[in-house]
A = this chain, B = another copy of it.
Amino acid sequence: MPHPTLEDVAARAGVSRALVSLVMRGSPKVGEERRAAVLAAARELGYRPNAMARGLAAGRTGIVGVLLADLHQPLYARIHDGLADEAARRDVRLLLTTGRGRPALERAAVEDLLDLRLDGLVLAGPRIAAADLDRAAAGCAITVVGRAVRSDRVDRVTGDAAAEAAQAVAHLTALGHRRIACLDLDGRSASLRRAFLAAMDGAGPSAHASVLTVPDALSTGPGGLPDALGNALDGGPGGPPGATGPPTAVLALGDPGGTAALAALLRAGRRVPEDVSLVVHGDPPGAGAAGVTTVGPDARELGRLAMGALMDRIRGGVPGGPAQRIGVAPVLTERATTAPPPAGA
């Protein structure tokens, strides 16, 4: 008998199956005597309830499925910490999957989760199509975290692009920088670019902003990032018309490894932070170890709020109404790549 069942326990304890079921769920309406007998029988047999059978019969599992876009990104480990914090508080278990950063695998992973009929799903950083998302949300409570999605059927918890850009700009201007370049390494950060520009607008008349979008950020050859960046910093193409000199600070967006911009700056012959300061947006791998100053949402808080929103929906706290849109305040982690601008600048 590899796995004793409820029935085995009932037989050994000399009671009915239903009574055992009640005891296993900690119901208060069972006599002390019988309860002890059941517990003893269960222990002796090494009984463990079958979660699938339980879920099937009860119609709920007490489990929330989580899709983590990419296990190699520390961002998702931190989001998971937040999810797990809140899940523990609410006595919910978590089951994870990942699409390993590939949309096709991710889609399959979400479908696997859907097939399990869990109580709800948290999708962290999904690249999933909006149509798929809507379809999935029809049969399952879903919260998306860390990515803007176009769907009214799912709750959404994200960082606040405007606040993040503003905080980065505030940090740099407080250090004395007036000419700041925004470097978009994947071309997908339109809202952050806009937020950067808006923040610079608010930084007074002496502030000059420039934006450089480099789709192929990983190329280091001629025409690659170091070249483009070098030009931009020299006031070449990409430099702002009317600027009184080259930028003394860079805000990098979409840096896949957290150090691409730093490496490019160094390759272009700039010292960091002596010649130019660098702030990277997000929570990319290596940023901490390389001492890069970063700005981005508090990932753990992102996770906590996401799990909270999901549980509210599941438990009906929020009457199936319109999806929630929750924003999280940014955090700027000052490390070694930001300093006052060079004296001559």
Contact = CB atoms under 8 A, between A and B. Distances in A.
Counting from the closest, the 10 A-B pairs by CB-CB distance are A286-B289, A71-B77, A96-B96, A51-B115, A289-B289, A52-B52, A289-B290, A72-B77, A51-B116, A52-B56
B100 A97 contact: no
Contact of A50 (B95, B115, B259, B289): B115
A94 B97 CA distance: 7
B81 A100 contact: yes
A257 interface: yes
Residue in A2, A116, A259 with the greatest tally of chain B CB atoms within 10 Å: A116
Given A96-B95, A98-B80, A289-B287, A114 B48 contact: yes
Contacts of A84: 98, 100
Given A71-B71, A289-B287, A289-B290, A139 B50 contact: no
Given A2-B139, A46-B135, A81-B100, A112 B71 contact: no
B80 A289 contact: no
Interface residues of A, number: 47
A117 interface: yes
Nearest to A81: B100
Contacts of A135: 46
A117 B93 CA distance: 16
B97 A48 contact: no
Nearest to A113: B95
A111 interface: yes
A188 interface: no
25 contacts: A2-B139, A46-B135, A48-B139, A50-B117, A51-B116, A52-B52, A52-B61, A52-B116, A56-B56, A71-B76, A71-B77, A72-B74, A72-B77, A74-B285, A81-B100, A95-B97, A96-B97, A96-B98, A257-B289, A258-B289, A285-B285, A285-B289, A286-B286, A286-B288, A286-B289
Interface string A43-74: 00010111111011000010100001001101
A139 B71 CA distance: 29
Contacts of A81: 100
A77 B72 CA distance: 6
A56 B51 CA distance: 10
Contacts of A258: 289
Contacts of A285: 74, 285, 288-289
A48 B139 CA distance: 10
- Counting chain B CB atoms within 10 Å of each CB, which of A3, A51, A61, A285 scores highest? A51
Nearest to A1: B139
